[in-house]
Chain A
Amino acid sequence: MSVILILILVSLVVAIAFLTAFFWAVKSGQFDDTYSPSVRMLFEDRVKKEKEAKDD
Chain B
Amino acid sequence: MNSVSTIVKNETKCYHCGEDCLEGKLTFEEHSFCCNGCKTVYEILSSNDLCDYYSMESTPGFTIRDKAEHSLFDFLDNESIKREVLDFEGEGFQRATLHIPNVHCSSCIWLLESLDRLNPAVLDSVINFSSKKLTVNYKSDEMSLRQLAEMLDSIGYGPQINLKDSDESKKPQKTFDKQLLIKMGIAGFCFGNVMLLSFPDYLGIAGVEEEYRSFFRYLSLALSLPVVFYSGSEYFTSALKGAKQKFANIDVPIAIGLLALFVRSSYEVIADVGPGYFDSLVGLVFFLLIGKWFQSKTYEALSFERDYQSYFPLAVQKRINDAFAPVPVKELKKGDEVLLRNGEVLPADAILIDDYASIDYSFVTGESVPVARKKGDYVYAGGRQVGKQVRFVIQKEVSQSYLTQLWNNDAFGEKEVHTKLVDKVSRYFTLVILLIAFGSAIFWQLTDPSQTWLVFTAVLIIACPCALALSTPFTMGSIMRVFGRNHFYLKNADVIEKLNATNTIVFDKTGTITETQGEALKFCGPALSEAEKALIHTAVASSTHPLSRWIKQFTEAKGFDYNIESFEEIEGKGFVSVVSGLTVKVGSAKFLGVEKSTQNNATQVHVSIGDDYKGYFSFEATYRKGLSALLDALKNKFKFQVLSGDNDKEAERLKSMFPTGSTLRFNQSPEDKLKAIKEIQAKGNDVIMLGDGLNDAGALQQSKVGIAITEDVSLFSPASDAILKASNLMDLHKFIQLAHEGRNVILASFILSLLYNGIGLSFAVAGELTPLVAAILMPLSSISIVVFTTVSINLISKKIKLK
Count of A-B contacts with CB under 8 A? 50
A36 to B130, CA, bound (A): 8
A26 to B208, CA, bound (A): 43
Q: Does A54 contact B (CB under 8 A)?
A: no
Does B653 reach chain A (CB closer than 8 Å)? no
Say yes or no: is B178 at the interface (Cβ < 8 Å to chain A): yes
Q: Are A26 and B212 touching (Cβ within 8 A)?
A: no
**Is the CB–CB distance between B178 and A36 below 8 Å?**
no
Binary per-residue interface labels of chain A (33-45) against chain B in the complex, 1 for a CB within 8 Å, 0 otherwise: 1111001101110
Structural contact, A34 and B130, CB atoms closer than 8 A: yes
Q: Is B181 at the interface (CB under 8 A from chain A)?
A: yes
Question: What does the 1/0 interface line of A13-56 toward B look like (CB < 8 Å)?
Answer: 00110010011001100011111100110111010000000000
Please report which residues of chain B, range 164-192, place their CB below 8 angstroms from some CB of chain A when the two chains form the complex: 174, 177-178, 181-182, 185-186, 189, 192
Please determine whether A43 and B186 come into contact, CB atoms closer than 8 angstroms: no
Which residues of the partner chain B approach A43 to less than 8 Å between Cβ atoms?
110, 113
Q: What residue in chain B is nearest A8 (Cβ atoms)?
A: B219
Enumerate chain A residues within 8 angstroms of B110, measured Cβ to Cβ: 39, 43
- Indicate whether A10 reaches chain B with its CB closer than 8 angstroms: no
Checking B128, B186, B192 against A36 with a beta-carbon cut-off of 8 angstroms, the contacting residue is: B128
Chain A residues within an 8 Å CB radius of B185: 19, 22-23, 26
Contact residue among B106, B114, B130, B208 (Cβ-Cβ distance under 8 Å from A32)? B130
Choose among B106, B177, B215 the residue that contacts A39 (Cβ–Cβ < 8 A).
B106
Chain A residues in 8 Å Cβ range of B189? 15-16, 19
Inter-chain contacts of B177 with A (CB < 8 A): 31
Distance in Å from the Cβ of B438 to the closest Cβ of chain A? Answer: 40
- The B193-221 residues at the A interface (CB cut-off 8 A) are 193, 208, 212, 215, 219
Q: Which of chain B's residues have a CB closer than 8 A to the CB of A33? A: 128-131
B: number of interface residues (CB 8 Å): 25
Interchain CB contact under 8 A, B109 and A5: no
The residue in chain A whose Cβ has the minimal distance to the Cβ of B132 is A33
- Contact in complex: A27, B215 (CB < 8 Å): no
Contacting residues, chain A, for B131 (C-beta < 8 A): 32-33
Q: For residue B178, which residues in chain A have a CB less than 8 angstroms away from its CB?
A: 26-27, 31
* Separation of A44 and B114 alpha carbons in the complex (Å): 11
Main secondary structure of the interface of A (DSSP, over half): helix
Of all chain B residues, the one with the shortest Cβ separation from A42 is B106
Q: How far is the CB of B629 from chain A (nearest CB, A)?
A: 36
Would you call B128 and A31 a contact (CB within 8 A)?
no
Taken together as a complex, chains A and B put the C-alpha atoms of A35 and B109 apart, in Å, by 10
Q: Measured between C-beta atoms, what is the minimum distance from A54 to chain B in Å?
A: 15
Chain B residues near A4 (CB-CB < 8 A): 212
User: Given the interface contacts A5-B215, A26-B181, A43-B110, does A36 sit within 8 Å of B129 by beta carbon?
Assistant: yes
Q: Across the interface, do B182 and A35 meet the contact criterion of CB distance under 8 Å?
A: no
State A26–B174 Cα separation when bound (angstroms). 11
Bitwise, B111-133 to A at CB < 8 A (1) or not (0) is 00110000000000001111100
Q: Is B648 an interface residue (CB 8 A)?
A: no
Determine the distance from Cα of A44 to Cα of B166 in the docked complex, in whole angstroms.
35
Q: Smallest Cβ distance from A7 to chain B, in angstroms?
A: 11
Q: Chain B contacts of A32 at CB under 8 A? A: 128, 130-131, 174
Contact among A1, A5, A31 for B181, CB-based, below 8 A:
A31
B109–A40 CB distance below 8 A: yes
In contact, B193 and A12 (Cβ under 8 angstroms):
yes
Q: Chain B at the A interface: mostly helix, strand, loop or mixed?
A: helix
Within 8 A of A (CB), among B126-147: 127-131
Q: Given the complex, which residues of B lie within 8 Å of A39, measured CB to CB?
A: 106, 109-110
Tell which of A5, A32, A35 has the most Cβ of chain B within 10 Å. Answer: A32
A19 to B227, CA, bound (A): 14
Q: Shortest CB–CB separation between residue A29 and chain B, in angstroms? A: 8
A33 to B181, CA, bound (A): 14
B272 interface residue per 8 A CB criterion: no
Residue of B nearest to A34 (CB): B130
Q: A35 CA to B782 CA in the complex, in Å?
A: 30
In the complex, what distance in Å separates the CA atom of A50 from the CA atom of B181? 41
**Complex contact B212–A35 (CB within 8 A):** no
Q: Does B234 contact A (CB under 8 A)?
A: no
Q: Which of A12, A31, A35, A46 contacts B129 (CB 8 A)?
A: A35
What CA separation (Å) do A23 and B208 show in the bound complex?
39
Give complex CA distance A1, B110 in Å: 58
Bound state CA distance, A12 and B178, in angstroms? Answer: 24
In the bound complex, what is the Cα–Cα distance between A28 and B177 (angstroms)? 13
Q: Give a binary string over B250-270; 1 marks a CB under 8 Å from any A CB, 0 the rest.
A: 000000000000000000000
Task: State in angstroms the CA–CA spacing of A53 and B266 once bound together.
Answer: 69
B52 within 8 Å of A (CB atoms): yes
Q: Whole-angstrom distance between the alpha carbons of A35 and B108 in the complex?
A: 12
Q: Which residues of A contact B208 (CB under 8 A)?
A: 1
**Chain A residue with minimal CB distance to B174?**
A32
Judge whether A5 and B186 touch: CB under 8 Å.
no
B181 touches A40 (CB 8 A): no
Docked-complex contact A19 and B193, CB < 8 angstroms: no
Closest Cβ–Cβ distance, residue B109 to chain A (whole Å)? 5
With a cutoff of 8 Å between Cβ atoms, the chain B residues found around residue A34 in the complex are 130
Report Cα–Cα, A39/B182, bound state, in Å. 26
List residues of chain B with CB within 8 A of the CB of A15: 189, 192-193
Contacts of A16 in B (CB 8 A): 189
Cα distance A22–B188 in the bound complex, in angstroms: 12
**A12-B193, A15-B193 given; A35·B186 CB < 8 A:** no
Contact A40 B113 (CB under 8 A): yes
Which residues from A are CB-within-8-Å of B109? 36, 39-40
Which residue of B52, B212, B215 contacts A44 across the interface (Cβ within 8 Å)? B52
CB neighbours of B215 from chain A (8 A)? 5
Q: Hey, which chain A residues are within 8 Å of B181, CB to CB?
A: 26, 31
A8, B189: Cα distance in complex, Å: 15
B414 nearest CB across to chain A (Å): 30
Give the chain B neighbours of A27 by CB distance below 8 A: 178
A4 nearest in chain B by CB position: B212
CB proximity of B178 to chain A, nearest CB, Å: 5
Task: Report Cα–Cα, A8/B109, bound state, in Å.
Answer: 46
Q: A15-B189, A19-B189 are in contact. List 4 more A-B contacts (CB 8 A).
A: A15-B192, A26-B181, A36-B128, A39-B109
Leading 10 A-B pairs by shortest Cβ distance: A39-B106, A36-B129, A35-B129, A33-B128, A26-B181, A19-B189, A22-B185, A36-B109, A33-B130, A33-B129
Can you list 25 residue pairs at the A/B interface with Cβ under 8 Å?
A: A12-B193, A12-B219, A15-B189, A15-B192, A15-B193, A16-B189, A19-B185, A19-B186, A22-B185, A26-B181, A31-B177, A31-B178, A32-B130, A32-B131, A32-B174, A33-B130, A33-B131, A35-B129, A36-B127, A36-B128, A39-B106, A39-B109, A40-B109, A43-B113, A46-B114
- Chain B positions near chain A (C-beta within 8 angstroms): 52, 106, 109-110, 113-114, 127-131, 174, 177-178, 181-182, 185-186, 189, 192-193, 208, 212, 215, 219
User: Which residue numbers of A lie inside 8 Å of B, CB to CB?
Assistant: 1, 4-5, 8, 12, 15-16, 19, 22-23, 26-27, 31-36, 39-40, 42-44, 46
